[in-house]
Structure 1
Amino acid sequence: MELAKALCVGRGVTSVIGSGGKTSLIAALARELPGTVALTTTTHVRPFAGMTTLDGSDAGAVAATLERERVVCVGAPAGEKDRAAGKLVAGALEPAELAQLADYVLVEADGSRGLPLKAHAPWEPVVPGVSSQTILVVGASGLGRPVREAAHRAERFCELAACAPGDAATPELVARVIAAEGLATRVLVNQADTDELLARARELARWLDVPVTAGSLRAGRLVELRP
């Protein structure tokens, strides 16, 4: 799967927001990209398995790790509540500074509490100004489920989509939220593991005016729905 090519991930800083597979996407890109890669967050993130984690207080240490291992996660220990969940917060080095050390910087720029859909509060996502693009991940498993069950910040979702919490999160309603927020330069519909879910992803793409790719990161299968 040529994931980086499908999502047009170039050198510099790329931010990933939304729900339904942000961490999986970042990890897959880190494995695939040809140069050095720094993974970081502007909010909270769990450490990436098998990757060295540094707090970013020493740029030299980050550079040395990249020479030796090619990929490094930069994040500081979280506060007491999130530390118990094993999470990290933004490290000492800003994404712009990391971009001077690594060929690619991938930023997880918001959280979703493990739900497949999300609407963003006014203070999120925290996308660095140096980002060349912002990829919004949507979990196809949430399409068709009640908003109150499938969406993080369901009340905000309903406000933007003009719907009720018990309404099904149809592709049209999800598209309303995405369009109203205007945060994404590109959408990845993940978790489209069946023909039915891929058909719902296609319907979602028809309602959007940004590039859309869909498929399953787990299965390593993607298709371009809207160039």
Structure 2
Amino acid sequence: MELSLLSKMHIEDSRIITFVGAGGKTSLMYSLGKEMSLHHKTLLTTTTHIMEPRDLPGVRLVTNENQEQLVTAFQNSRLVALGIPLSGADRRITSGDPGFLSNFSDISTGQNAAPVPKWASPSLSFLEQMHAIPERILCEGDGSRRLPVKVPRAGEPVFYPGTDTVIGVIGLSCLGCPAESCLFGRTPDLDFPALHAALQKSGGQMTPEALAVIALSQNGLKKNVTTQQYRVVFNQADCLSGKEWRDMQKTVQKIRDNGTYCHIVSLKKGIIY
């Protein structure tokens, strides 16, 4: 699958990218990492937790804070993943599991698939020490408990030190669903007036308007974004009906008119708008 997202999103020169949000941000990170690694030594990592990318083609795994191992890994591949395995955190991926592995066309899963370990972040001090080894760094900066859309909790997101670009990701499978069932981070005391207003207007359902509010607000996915470049990706375009597609096109245009690069994407179908 060839996605020319790097050029479309104008991030060819971004060196350290942190991904925030939900609905496919790990898959997006891996897709962009594969594309970047064609020309640059590219590191995949996390400042929170992530599933081990053991089936990502060509990737070399480094599972401890060891700069020598990292250097050696890059001598054998331009794509390296770094994380600290969590004991007892294995999770079995099956054909019915909507996890990130199923978003890759060249990865097969089944009922007898091997457990996939979960990784924790290396220490921030180590991430700072080794940041000059790769030429590009892609980092997952928050969690979403596998829901398609989220608002940040206290302490989230955690940007990789020196992040120059932040990509906010939302999964479009949430459209039309009750916020209480698909919006991670929503609590009774959530201080997000614009989102509350959008949800009140829709009877509590997720709408393009609500997604735009989450994407562009400092209470949403733009939290802690200051001087960094910011991009928005609406993933899971293959879930959309014709009307939903047209509504999302209008929403994306409004976000672009606001001065933010924004795209509708399906990593499964190779769609980029």
What are the Cα deviations for residues 112-135 of structure 1, in whole angstroms up to 9, with x where unaligned?
A: 111111111121011124111100
Question: Do structure 1's residue 214 and structure 2's residue 217 form an aligned pair?
Answer: no
Larger deviation, residues 134-143 vs 91-100: 91-100
Question: Do structure 1's residue 36 and structure 2's residue 86 form an aligned pair?
Answer: no
Larger deviation, residues 9-18 vs 188-197: 188-197
Deviation at 1:110, TM superposition (A): 0.7
Question: Do structure 1's residue 60 and structure 2's residue 68 form an aligned pair?
Answer: yes
The number of aligned residues is: 221
Q: 1:14 to 1:94 in 2, by over 3 A?
A: farther
Using the alignment, how far apart are the partners of 1:207 and 1:36 within structure 2? 35
Q: 1:203 to 1:151 in 2, by over 3 A?
A: farther
Q: 1:207 to 1:21 in 2, by over 3 A?
A: same
Q: 1:112 to 1:74 in 2, by over 3 A?
A: same
2:10 alignment partner in structure 1: 8
Question: Do structure 1's residue 99 and structure 2's residue 144 form an aligned pair?
Answer: no
Using the alignment, how far apart are the partners of 2:188 and 2:6 within structure 1? 31
Higher strand content, 1 or 2: 1
RMSD (Å), alpha carbons: 2.3
Deviation at 1:67, TM superposition (A): 1.6
Deviation at 1:77, TM superposition (A): 1.5
Using the alignment, how far apart are the partners of 2:188 and 2:77 within structure 1? 41
1:202 alignment partner in structure 2: 249
Larger deviation, residues 2-11 vs 125-134: 2-11
Using the alignment, how far apart are the partners of 2:20 and 2:246 within structure 1? 23
Contact 1:188 1:212 in 2 (8 A): yes
Contact 1:13 1:99 in 2 (8 A): no
- If the length of structure 2 is used for normalisation, what is the TM-score? 0.73
Structure 2 segments unaligned to the other structure (5+ residues): 92-116
Letter in 1 for 2:8: A
The SS at the match of 1:26 is: helix
2:96 alignment partner in structure 1: none
Larger deviation, residues 53-62 vs 19-28: 53-62
Using the alignment, how far apart are the partners of 1:99 and 1:175 within structure 2? 33
What are the Cα deviations for residues 133-182 of structure 1, in whole angstroms up to 9, with x where unaligned?
A: 10001111112211012211232796421146961111112222332423
Q: 1:197 to 1:99 in 2, by over 3 A?
A: farther
Q: 1:127 to 1:68 in 2, by over 3 A?
A: same
Deviation at 1:205, TM superposition (A): 2.3
Contact 1:214 1:222 in 2 (8 A): yes
Equivalent runs, 1:62-211 vs 2, <5 Å: 62-78=70-86, 80=88, 83-85=89-91, 86-92=117-123, 94-155=126-187, 159-160=191-192, 161-162=195-196, 163=199, 167-178=204-215, 179-181=217-219, 182-183=222-223, 185-193=230-238, 194=240, 195-208=242-255, 209=258, 210-211=260-261
Contact 2:14 2:165 in 1 (8 A): no
Contact 2:61 2:73 in 1 (8 A): no
Using the alignment, how far apart are the partners of 2:29 and 2:40 within structure 1? 14
Contact 2:83 2:121 in 1 (8 A): yes
- If the length of structure 1 is used for normalisation, what is the TM-score? 0.87
Q: 1:122 to 1:7 in 2, by over 3 A?
A: same
Whichever of the two has the greater Rg, that structure is 2
Using the alignment, how far apart are the partners of 2:160 and 2:188 within structure 1? 23
Instruction: State the identity %.
Output: 24
Q: 1:90 to 1:149 in 2, by over 3 A?
A: same
Larger deviation, residues 202-211 vs 115-124: 202-211
